[in-house]
């Protein structure tokens, strides 16, 4: 039997020949994990732009008291600042009220009553911190654990480590929705790239406009029958050539054409949500085909059911340099209900136990005001919400200081978060390495510790 | 030991354990305080490392369990034996001087010797058809034409073919592809808004340098320091773009110091990787763990580049965009430009004179605004139609408001026209107005933003509006209405998209809106040549033509207005009334006392007074025409970012790479200390890189070249020749080739020819590798691989004879799925595929959008070039199948390929043979022919019974069509499409 080490320590080049091994793993013939997994898959509800922790999960009465006063220099001296460079730093009190929810009494912004209703199912981490203060590098760090481009995204790492559980869909799927506030920061496709891993591990973006998967549409006029005949003929010809050439890549090519055809067949059914019961559509607030965060949450559940390993939903529009109150109100309308609906739905289907759901963005926002009604980018402290997949429900972890500036109690770095996620998936982050550019590269770089306290 | 021991007992002092260092012999044999030494040469029993690696006790065992590094028994034995034999240290191979090798040495000699030792031998030469296809794909990236194959099979000498191919421009294109990956050449900035920057002339410099076989040492000097060469030529300055095409950011709120550190680190990583095969970049935060690079080396290397003029935030628009640029206009361009520029200057003077002479009455202007005589009157169209699209008019009925507001209230449309439905590339709107009786001076067009539209949200499928012509006629008279002048509300109107272009009678030019589009309304004002008198019966028919080369640059929502006065085209922020004919900014400026006005106020007032004064019209219009003419010339002038040397910034060692930490020591430029003592400028660095003192450059280069012809480098880890890389399979060969490279005067084509002339290269690739050498590292046969992304495309275009070969030029845009750029912003973007010849250029010329590289290229593993890449992977994925099956580029290629097959004549079998031969260079076997014939017949049945489907299938792409779309042609197309999808078609055997 192959050992898990042999599998997980392969170089990227060696991994190219691992198809057979992965098939064995998929059939359960080999245990690829470093330890027993709690989670089989991840749904990452990525709130892009940098949600204000101070108007979502991190209540700061002291900041309200200090509203309008200068931010004490003891907090900010020597720290990085983005657009507030050279401007006076003035405390800006929380713009929305907070409430305690559930038996656990978890505190959340009162504009998130649906998420509040599942407070006992989730864990709120209030002590996240990052290293990159601009969107693009911060996304890159959150996704790849590095600020250098060319590194694999976490979804690719997970797929590389665990293989896929579906034979007719990609194992790593990315969805994207836009908010109605218009604060849409760009998101590069490198955020779901496989980096130096083989590109079969890259995320595949499902689009709500145009073809759901790029080039999934059979050419007009050919029809599904014509496409099937063509693919069969291509397979026969490839097989015929393989006889004389003895090239193992040909077998892979044939298998990939078959997979492509299965994708062409299965994707339309996947994205067609018209057969979902009205009660389910209502719970999510989903209107099939509208490409909203609600629809994508429902689509995420459908992907999870079909064995997709890593599902990442970007919801753009959290970059509230101005009008943070009005804009968070708007975001609450967009994300509160579907987030809760997804977690409830997974729970009802018995899938929450082995699905890790993550809610958070690339950074938080300053306790200081920008332009009188907004908040600037902030990396020293922000909040994440986690649920399912072995996460301890109904707890809060860590804290920022009294003004919500820096994570001071049990700080959780991006690497710690990655280490914890991999741990839940049965992977030791220290041991999933790939030789690249002279290093044993890993998702967590050179640091990262599993946050044991939030594990079940 | 580098892999298992040096992390804790190697060069990096910060992570060194037990103060023990094993990478240097003098350190490793030193006794510690207790008299024990890690290594006692000749005495394994006394050597601490031997005791520890064989230790039974887990707490003593090395490497420790926690390191997750294991030495297998054979490795342990080797270490024990090595200690017993005296623990002789050799320097790492890559850092040792080049060994020359015997004068009689040859590639085949080195390869055969190793094979012989392993009991292997060379395979026979590949058959001629395979060999020429291999050669053509490797050297030119384009498969051989049938005539070339026939001539070679008939006996044309191999060397003739090699010489011809190496001399071709295609060779330069193929080689440049790989070089451009290394130097991370792309067409966009890469961070955040990822806007296009002027870089392509650098790509053309690389093409010409390779084509002309410029010696590699000079190629090196020009890229790193072309601007520092005495009397630098434009080409040498263009080469220095190498230092400027790294990713840069224009994101507001970035910290300049942080980004300057990022840019500089990028240059160190790229230069070290490309020229030295070194991971010097690893030493940004700490001393290298495995190679003798220190953090000081990293920052000293970085200091060579400290003279480059640059800013942390690199402006991506406006006059300062992209920093130092070089204008590469040709002599003819300059000659053409000079009189136009002179005309602009003369017109400006005339306008100034006119201004001075005319009475400027601010009060009258404000009065006209206040009494409403400047106002626009929204028109409620009585009819609106388009060539293909549907135009819906909202007059009194509520219009769906949709301008990015949280909550939108339906309001009466007031003449709003909304386009929907079919969305062709070009489109003409015809709108009929019934203005009632009046006397009108101006027609206005207001384009409204709509959240549902892509791009700037004002065009239906583009990131800009492009109105090529506006025509109007008065009915029932049937009189054509002419316009004398035009103005837009856009503050920074691109000169080549001047409003005057919309009334110049030339459909090639147009008025464009391609600013950042912050304003929800963009307006255009057109003045009638003579005032227009209308009666209650009059109708005005307005035709808005979108005929430019930009696809789908059509207005999504618009209103038409007429003005009885000289209203300004107004573009206001949300909520404000815009019918006033004067912008709120101008009104505010007019109301300020003169002493309180700033430059912006003054300019706004001048512009308003100009437009509202009929006396100014003639001279202003002359100026506008001159500006439009100059703008058209300037827009196509090639420019490139170049290095400009200024007083060097101070370079400090950043502790742990932290840009905020100013406490580190100041360093001067220097090459890595263990490699030599060279300081000075970028030119000194370049000279050192190609000097005899540095053995890395030649090794790194020939190792990469080897990969292009055998699928793997002699050392497979191309980006790292250091201790964490791979020991070369044939170190003597690598050195011999490197030495040959230097001795030949850095002759790049010489190295290529040496390799492809070898017997080793010419071997057959068929069959499985020997069990003795499962990875075929000893090359007892040739290897096979799927060709690179660009070549996948080039093969399909070449085989279908769609390929348009033009050497260099601005980058082009192949078809791309709609909405692919939707996640980009600042500005929002859409894509306009190139038309005509530019649609069929080689993959190399594709517009390289770093954050959203063309999905077909990306799927076949093309590098995004955000970062230096010297070793692309070659994956095999279902998405690749989807591209070859369904991407319009490949469907169109199949269609044209079928047309050609059809023209070639004969029975279906003959067509199949012809097409098969054309694509893979051999005739199909009987079995293959039968499969394709079955596919053909079945297609024929289907298309015979459904002629509409045949027509639709044959409608793919924009290349000229065959006149008779028939079921036979459609069935042939299923055959050619299958052939283009074959593994063999995209494989180099």
Tell me: pLDDT of A11 over 50: no
Cα B444 versus chain centre, distance: 39
What is the pLDDT at residue B905? 79
For B826, which of A186, A199, A438 is closest by C-beta distance? A186
Residue A22: which pLDDT band, with cuts at 50, 70 and 90?
low
What is the pLDDT at residue B808? 97
Residue A6: which pLDDT band, with cuts at 50, 70 and 90?
very low
The mean predicted confidence, pLDDT, of chain B is 92
**Segments making up each domain of chain A, as ranges:** 36-208+290-454
Stretch A196-208: mean pLDDT: 87
Tell me: pLDDT of A43 over 70: yes
Residue of chain B whose alpha carbon sits nearest to that of A199: B875
User: Which of B795, B808, B898 is closest to B210 using CA atoms?
Assistant: B808
Residue A362: which pLDDT band, with cuts at 50, 70 and 90?
very high
CATH of domain A36-208+290-454: 3.40.720
Asked if residue B173 lies in contact with residue B804, where contact means CB atoms within 8 angstroms, the answer is no
Contact flag B928-A240 (C-beta cutoff 8 Å) = yes
Contact flag B876-A252 (C-beta cutoff 8 Å) = yes
For A186, which of B194, B279, B867 is closest by C-beta distance? B194
Residues of chain B contacting A229 with CB distance shorter than 8 Å: 935, 938-939, 974
DSSP assignment, residue B460?
A: S
> Does the CB of B929 have a partner CB in chain A at under 8 Å?
no
d(CA A381, CA A413): 10
Peptide bond into B476 cis (omega under 30): yes
User: Which of A427, A422, A436 is closest to A11 using CA atoms?
Assistant: A436
Tell me: pLDDT of B517 over 60: no
Q: Which of B70, B454, B817, B885 to mutate to test the interface with A (most CBs of A within 10 A)?
A: B885
Tell me: pLDDT of A17 over 80: no
For B406, which of A84, A133, A330 is closest by C-beta distance? A330
- d(CA A437, nearest CA chain B) in Å: 6
Percent of chain A having pLDDT more than 90?
Answer: 77
Tell me: pLDDT of B904 over 50: yes
Cα torsion at B63, B69, B73, B77 (round to 10°)? -50
Tell me: pLDDT of B102 over 90: no
Residue of chain B whose alpha carbon sits nearest to that of A245: B766
Asked if residue B541 lies in contact with residue B472, where contact means CB atoms within 8 angstroms, the answer is yes
Residue B317: which pLDDT band, with cuts at 50, 70 and 90?
confident
Contact flag B255-A223 (C-beta cutoff 8 Å) = no
What is the pLDDT at residue A27? 46
Phi-psi category of residue B155: left, alpha or beta, with phi > 0 → left and psi -120 to 50 → alpha = left
Phi-psi category of residue B908: left, alpha or beta, with phi > 0 → left and psi -120 to 50 → alpha = alpha
d(CA B861, CA B854): 11
What is the pLDDT at residue B642? 98
Tell me: pLDDT of A3 over 50: no
pLDDT tens digits, residue range B367-384? 999 999 999 999 999 999
What is the pLDDT at residue B405? 41
Report the range out of A294-298, B408-412, B459-463 with the highest average pLDDT.
A294-298
Residue of chain A whose alpha carbon sits nearest to that of B890: A219
Residues of chain A contacting B765 with CB distance shorter than 8 Å: 245
DSSP assignment, residue B145?
A: P
What is the pLDDT at residue B410? 62
Residue B924: which pLDDT band, with cuts at 50, 70 and 90?
very high
What is the pLDDT at residue B404? 44
Phi-psi category of residue B819: left, alpha or beta, with phi > 0 → left and psi -120 to 50 → alpha = left
What is the pLDDT at residue A101? 97
What is the pLDDT at residue A10? 37
Stretch B584-597: mean pLDDT: 92
DSSP assignment, residue B253?
A: T
Tell me: pLDDT of A80 over 70: yes
What is the pLDDT at residue B493? 81
d(CA B407, CA B409): 7
d(CA A213, CA B877): 14
For B866, which of A190, A261, A263 is closest by C-beta distance? A190
pLDDT tens digits, residue range B636-683? 889 999 999 999 999 999 998 889 888 999 999 999 999 999 999 999
Residue B402: which pLDDT band, with cuts at 50, 70 and 90?
low
Asked if residue B865 lies in contact with residue B176, where contact means CB atoms within 8 angstroms, the answer is no
What is the pLDDT at residue B574? 54
Model pTM score: 0.88
For B825, which of A184, A225, A229 is closest by C-beta distance? A184
In 3-state terms chain A splits into helix, strand, coil percentages (rounded to 5) of: 40, 20, 45
Residues of chain B contacting A224 with CB distance shorter than 8 Å: none
Residues of chain A contacting B822 with CB distance shorter than 8 Å: 176, 209
Asked if residue A392 lies in contact with residue A121, where contact means CB atoms within 8 angstroms, the answer is no
Identify which has the larger pLDDT, B515 or B677: B677
What is the pLDDT at residue A16? 35
Stretch B29-33: mean pLDDT: 84
Residue of chain A whose alpha carbon sits nearest to that of B977: A230
What is the pLDDT at residue B573? 54
Residues of chain A contacting B767 with CB distance shorter than 8 Å: 246
- d(CA B660, nearest CA chain A) in Å: 8
Residues of chain A contacting B281 with CB distance shorter than 8 Å: 437
Contact flag A210-B819 (C-beta cutoff 8 Å) = yes
Interface TM-score (ipTM) > 0.90: no
What is the pLDDT at residue A1? 29
Tell me: pLDDT of A253 over 90: yes
What is the pLDDT at residue A2? 33
Cα B499 versus chain centre, distance: 31
- d(CA A289, nearest CA chain B) in Å: 14
Tell me: pLDDT of B577 over 60: no
Contact flag B953-A221 (C-beta cutoff 8 Å) = yes
Tell me whether strands B469-475 and B539-546 are parallel, antiparallel or unpaired.
Answer: antiparallel
User: Which of A365, A376, A430, A451 is closest to A400 using CA atoms?
Assistant: A365
Biggest alpha carbon distance in chain A? Answer: 80
Contact flag A256-B864 (C-beta cutoff 8 Å) = no
What is the pLDDT at residue B401? 62
Axis-axis angle for helices A135-144, A154-162 (nearest 10): 10
Q: Which 378-437 residues of chain B touch chain A by CB within 8 A?
A: 404, 406
For A186, which of B851, B858, B955 is closest by C-beta distance? B851
Report CA Rg, chain B: 34
pLDDT tens digits, residue range B202-246? 999 999 999 999 999 999 999 999 999 999 999 999 999 999 999
Q: How far is CA A427 from CA A276, A352, B390, B732, in A?
A: 35, 19, 56, 42
Q: Which 298-357 residues of chain B touch chain A by CB within 8 A?
A: none
Residue B358: which pLDDT band, with cuts at 50, 70 and 90?
confident
- d(CA A433, nearest CA chain B) in Å: 10
Q: Which of B285, B873, B888 to mutate to test the interface with A (most CBs of A within 10 A)?
A: B873
For B823, which of A82, A176, A221 is closest by C-beta distance? A176
Residues of chain B contacting A150 with CB distance shorter than 8 Å: 866-867, 869
What is the pLDDT at residue A23? 53
What is the pLDDT at residue B456? 59
Residue of chain B whose alpha carbon sits nearest to that of A16: B875
Convert chain A into a string of H (helix), E (strand) and C (coil).
Answer: CCCHHHHHCCCHHHHCCCHHHHHHHHCCCCCCCCCCCCCCEEEEEEEECCCCHHHCCCCCHHHHHCCCCECCHHHHCCCCCCCCCCCCCEECCCCCCEEEECCCCEEEECCCHHHHHCHHHEEEEEEEECCCCCHHHHHHHHHHCCCCCCCCCHHHHHHHHHCCCCCCCCCEEEEEEECCCCCCCCCCHHHHCCCCCCHHHCCEECCCCCCCCCCCCCCCCCHHHHHHHHHHHHHHHHHHHHHHHCCHHHHHHHHHHHHHHHHHHHHHHHHCCCCCCHHHHHHHCCCCCCCCHHHHHHHHHHHHHCCCCEEEEEEECCCCCCCHHHHHHHHHHHHHHHHHHHHHHHHHCCCHHHEEEEEECCCEEEEEEECCCEEEEECCCEEEEEECCCECCCEEECEECCCCCCEEECCEEHHHHHHHHHHHCCCCCCCCCEEECCEEECCCCCCCCCCHHHEC
- d(CA A454, nearest CA chain B) in Å: 24
For A260, which of B825, B878, B938 is closest by C-beta distance? B878
Stretch A358-364: mean pLDDT: 97
Tell me: pLDDT of A214 over 60: yes
Contact flag A249-B786 (C-beta cutoff 8 Å) = yes
What is the pLDDT at residue B963? 78
What is the pLDDT at residue B274? 98
What is the pLDDT at residue B454? 62
Question: Which element (helix H / strand E) includes A355?
Answer: strand A355-360
Contact flag B253-A241 (C-beta cutoff 8 Å) = no
Alpha-carbon dihedral sign for residues B693, B696, B699, B705: negative
Axis-axis angle for helices B967-980, B888-904 (nearest 10): 120
Residues of chain A contacting B252 with CB distance shorter than 8 Å: 83
Tell me: pLDDT of A414 over 90: yes
Percent of chain B having pLDDT more than 70?
Answer: 97
d(CA B520, CA B504): 27
Residue A30: which pLDDT band, with cuts at 50, 70 and 90?
very low
Residue A8: which pLDDT band, with cuts at 50, 70 and 90?
very low
Residue of chain A whose alpha carbon sits nearest to that of B712: A13
- d(CA A27, nearest CA chain B) in Å: 20
pLDDT tens digits, residue range B476-512? 999 999 999 999 988 778 888 999 999 999 888 999 9
What is the pLDDT at residue A246? 73
DSSP assignment, residue B71?
A: -
Peptide bond into A355 cis (omega under 30): no
Q: Which of B194, B721, B823, B898 to mutate to test the interface with A (most CBs of A within 10 A)?
A: B823
Residues of chain A contacting B925 with CB distance shorter than 8 Å: 240
- d(CA B640, nearest CA chain A) in Å: 25
Contact flag A241-B254 (C-beta cutoff 8 Å) = no
Q: Point out which residues pair with A412 in neighbouring strands.
A: A128
Contact flag A237-B989 (C-beta cutoff 8 Å) = no
> Does the CB of B78 have a partner CB in chain A at under 8 Å?
no
For A219, which of B864, B939, B956 is closest by C-beta distance? B956
Question: Which element (helix H / strand E) includes A358?
Answer: strand A355-360
Contact flag A188-B955 (C-beta cutoff 8 Å) = no
Q: Which of B781, B876, B888 to mutate to test the interface with A (most CBs of A within 10 A)?
A: B876
Place of tokens 């209540």: A59
pLDDT tens digits, residue range B122-142? 999 999 999 999 999 999 999
Contact flag A218-B886 (C-beta cutoff 8 Å) = yes
């Amino acid at each position: 039997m192959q050992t898990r080490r042999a599998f997980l320590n392969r170089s990227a080049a060696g991994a190219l020949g691992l198809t057979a091994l992965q098939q064995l793993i998929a059939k359960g013939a080999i245990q690829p994990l470093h330890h027993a997994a709690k989670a089989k898959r991840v749904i990452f509800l990525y709130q892009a732009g940098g949600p204000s922790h101070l108007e979502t999960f991190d209540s700061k009465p002291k900041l309200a008291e200090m509203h309008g006063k200068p931010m004490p220099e003891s907090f900010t001296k020597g720290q990085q600042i983005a657009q507030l460079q050279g401007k006076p730093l003035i405390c800006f009190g929380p713009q929305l009220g907070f409430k305690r929810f559930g038996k656990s009494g978890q505190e959340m912004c009162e504009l998130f009553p649906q998420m509040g209703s599942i407070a006992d199912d989730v864990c709120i981490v209030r002590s996240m911190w990052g290293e990159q203060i601009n969107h693009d590098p911060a996304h890159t760090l959150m996704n790849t654990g590095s600020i250098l481009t060319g590194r694999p995204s976490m979804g690719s790492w997970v797929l590389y480590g665990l293989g896929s559980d579906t034979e007719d869909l990609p194992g790593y799927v990315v969805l994207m929705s836009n908010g109605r506030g218009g604060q849409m920061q760009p998101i590069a496709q490198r955020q779901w790239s496989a980096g130096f891993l083989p590109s079969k591990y890259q995320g595949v973006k499902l689009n709500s406009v145009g073809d759901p998967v790029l080039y999934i549409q059979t050419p007009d006029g050919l029809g599904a029958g014509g496409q099937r005949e063509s693919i069969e003929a291509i397979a026969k010809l490839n097989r015929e050539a393989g006889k004389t050439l003895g090239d193992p890549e040909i077998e892979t090519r044939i298998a990939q054409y078959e997979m492509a055809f299965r994708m062409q067949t299965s994707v339309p059914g996947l994205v067609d949500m018209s057969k979902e019961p009205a009660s389910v559509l209502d719970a999510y607030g989903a209107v099939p085909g509208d490409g909203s965060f609600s629809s994508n949450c429902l689509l995420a559940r459908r992907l999870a059911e079909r064995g997709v390993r890593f599902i990442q939903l970007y919801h753009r529009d959290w970059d509230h340099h101005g009008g943070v109150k009005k804009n968070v109100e708007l975001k609450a309308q967009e994300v509160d209900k579907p987030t809760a609906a997804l977690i409830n739905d997974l729970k009802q289907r018995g899938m929450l136990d082995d699905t890790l759901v993550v809610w958070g963005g690339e950074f938080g926002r300053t306790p200081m005001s920008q332009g009188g009604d907004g908040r600037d980018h902030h990396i020293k402290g922000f909040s994440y919400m986690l649920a399912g997949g072995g996460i301890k429900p109904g707890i809060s972890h860590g804290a920022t200081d009294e003004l919500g500036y820096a994570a001071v109690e049990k700080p959780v770095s991006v690497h710690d978060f990655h280490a914890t996620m991999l741990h839940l998936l049965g992977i030791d982050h220290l041991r999933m390495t790939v030789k690249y550019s002279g290093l044993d590269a890993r998702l967590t770089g050179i640091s990262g510790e599993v946050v044991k306290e939030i594990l079940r | 030991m580098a892999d298992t021991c040096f992390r804790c007992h190697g060069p990096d002092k910060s992570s060194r354990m037990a103060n023990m260092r094993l990478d240097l012999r003098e350190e490793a044999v030193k006794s510690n305080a207790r008299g024990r030494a890690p290594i006692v040469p000749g005495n394994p029993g006394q050597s601490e490392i031997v005791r520890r690696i064989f230790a039974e006790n887990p707490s003593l065992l090395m490497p420790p369990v926690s390191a997750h590094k294991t030495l297998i028994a054979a490795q342990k034995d080797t270490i024990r034996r090595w200690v017993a034999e005296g623990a002789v240290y050799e320097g790492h191979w890559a850092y040792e001087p080049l060994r020359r090798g015997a004068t009689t040495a040859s590639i085949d000699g080195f390869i055969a010797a190793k094979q012989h030792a392993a009991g292997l031998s060379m395979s026979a030469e590949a058959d001629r058809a395979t060999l020429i296809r291999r050669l053509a794909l490797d050297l030119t990236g384009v498969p051989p034409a049938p005539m070339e194959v026939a001539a070679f099979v008939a006996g044309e000498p191999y060397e003739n073919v090699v010489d011809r191919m190496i001399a071709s421009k295609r060779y330069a294109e193929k080689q440049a592809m790989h070089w451009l990956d290394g130097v991370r050449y792309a067409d966009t900035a890469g961070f955040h808004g990822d806007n296009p920057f002027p870089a392509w002339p650098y790509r053309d410099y690389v093409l010409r340098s390779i084509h002309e076989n410029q010696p590699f040492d000079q190629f090196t000097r020009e890229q790193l320091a072309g601007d520092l060469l005495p009397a630098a030529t434009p080409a040498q300055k263009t080469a220095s773009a190498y230092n400027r095409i790294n990713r840069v950011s224009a994101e507001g709120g970035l910290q300049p110091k942080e980004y300057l550190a990022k840019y500089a680190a990028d240059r160190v990583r790229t230069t070290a990787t490309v020229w030295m095969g070194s991971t010097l970049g690893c030493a940004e935060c700490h001393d290298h763990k495995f190679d003798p690079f220190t953090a000081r080396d990293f920052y000293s290397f970085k200091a060579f580049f400290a003279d480059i003029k640059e800013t942390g935030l690199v402006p991506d628009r406006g006059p300062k965009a992209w920093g130092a640029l070089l204008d590469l206009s040709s002599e003819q361009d300059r000659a053409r430009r000079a009189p136009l520029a002179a005309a602009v200057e003369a017109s400006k003077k005339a306008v100034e004179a006119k201004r001075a002479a005319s009475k400027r009455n601010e009060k009258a202007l404000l009065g006209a605004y206040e009494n409403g005589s400047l106002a626009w009157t929204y028109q409620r169209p009585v009819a609106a139609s388009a060539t293909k699209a549907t135009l819906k008019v909202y007059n009194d009925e509520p219009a769906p408001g949709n301008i990015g507001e949280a909550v939108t209230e339906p309001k009466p449309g007031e003449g709003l026209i909304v386009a929907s439905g079919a969305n062709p590339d070009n489109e003409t709107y015809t709108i009929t107005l019934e203005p009632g009786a009046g006397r009108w001076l101006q027609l206005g067009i207001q384009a409204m933003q709509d959240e549902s539209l892509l791009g700037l949200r004002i065009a239906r499928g583009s990131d800009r509006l492009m109105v090529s012509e506006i025509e109007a006629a008065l009915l029932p008279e049937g009189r054509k209405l002419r316009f004398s002048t035009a103005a837009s509300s856009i503050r920074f109107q691109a000169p080549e998209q001047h409003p005057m272009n919309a009334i110049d009678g030339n459909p090639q030019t147009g008025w464009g809106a391609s600013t950042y589009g912050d304003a929800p309304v963009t307006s255009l004002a057109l003045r009638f040549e003579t005032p227009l008198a209308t009666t209650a019966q009059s109708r005005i028919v307005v035709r808005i033509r979108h005929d430019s080369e930009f696809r789908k640059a059509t207005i999504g929502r618009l209103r038409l207005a007429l003005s009885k006065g000289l209203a300004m085209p107004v573009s206001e922020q949300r909520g404000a009334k815009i019918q006033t004919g004067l912008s709120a900014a101008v009104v505010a400026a007019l109301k300020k006392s003169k002493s309180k006005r700033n430059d912006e106020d003054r300019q706004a007032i001048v512009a308003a007074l100009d437009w509202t004064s009929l006396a100014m019209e003639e001279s202003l219009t002359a100026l506008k025409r001159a500006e439009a003419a100059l703008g058209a010339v300037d827009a196509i002038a090639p420019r490139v970012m170049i290095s400009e040397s200024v007083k060097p910034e101070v370079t400090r060692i950043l502790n742990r790479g932290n840009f905020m930490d100013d406490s580190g020591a100041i360093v001067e430029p220097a090459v890595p200390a263990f490699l030599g003592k060279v300081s000075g400028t970028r030119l000194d660095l370049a000279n050192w890189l190609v000097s005899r003192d540095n053995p890395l450059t030649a090794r790194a280069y020939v190792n990469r070249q080897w990969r292009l012809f055998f699928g793997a480098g002699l050392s497979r880890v191309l980006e790292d020749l250091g201790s964490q890389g791979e020991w070369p399979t044939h170190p003597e060969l690598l050195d011999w080739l490197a030495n040959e490279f230097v001795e030949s005067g850095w002759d790049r084509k010489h190295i290529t020819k040496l390799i492809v002339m070898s017997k080793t290269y010419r071997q057959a690739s068929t069959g499985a590798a020997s069990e003795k050498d499962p990875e075929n590292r000893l090359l007892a046969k040739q290897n096979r691989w799927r060709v690179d992304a660009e070549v996948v495309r080039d093969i399909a275009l070449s085989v279908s004879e769609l390929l348009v070969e033009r050497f260099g030029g601005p980058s082009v845009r192949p078809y791309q799925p709609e909405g692919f750029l939707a996640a980009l912003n600042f500005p929002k973007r859409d894509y306009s595929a190139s038309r005509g010849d530019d649609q069929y250029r080689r993959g190399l010329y594709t517009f390289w959008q770093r954050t959203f590289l063309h999905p077909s290229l990306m799927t076949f593993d093309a590098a995004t070039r955000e970062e230096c890449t010297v070793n692309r992977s070659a994956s095999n994925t279902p998405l690749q199948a989807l591209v070859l099956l369904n991407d319009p580029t490949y469907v169109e290629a199949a269609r044209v390929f079928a047309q050609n097959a059809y023209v070639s004549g004969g029975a279906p079998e003959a067509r199949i043979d012809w097409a098969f031969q054309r694509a893979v260079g051999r005739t199909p076997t009987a079995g293959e022919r039968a499969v394709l014939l079955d596919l053909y017949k079945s297609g024929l049945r289907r298309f015979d019974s459904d002629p509409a489907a045949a027509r639709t299938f044959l409608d793919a792409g924009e290349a000229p069509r065959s006149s008779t779309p028939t079921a036979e042609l459609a069935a042939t197309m299923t055959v050619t499409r299958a052939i283009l999808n074959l593994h063999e078609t995209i494989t180099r055997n």
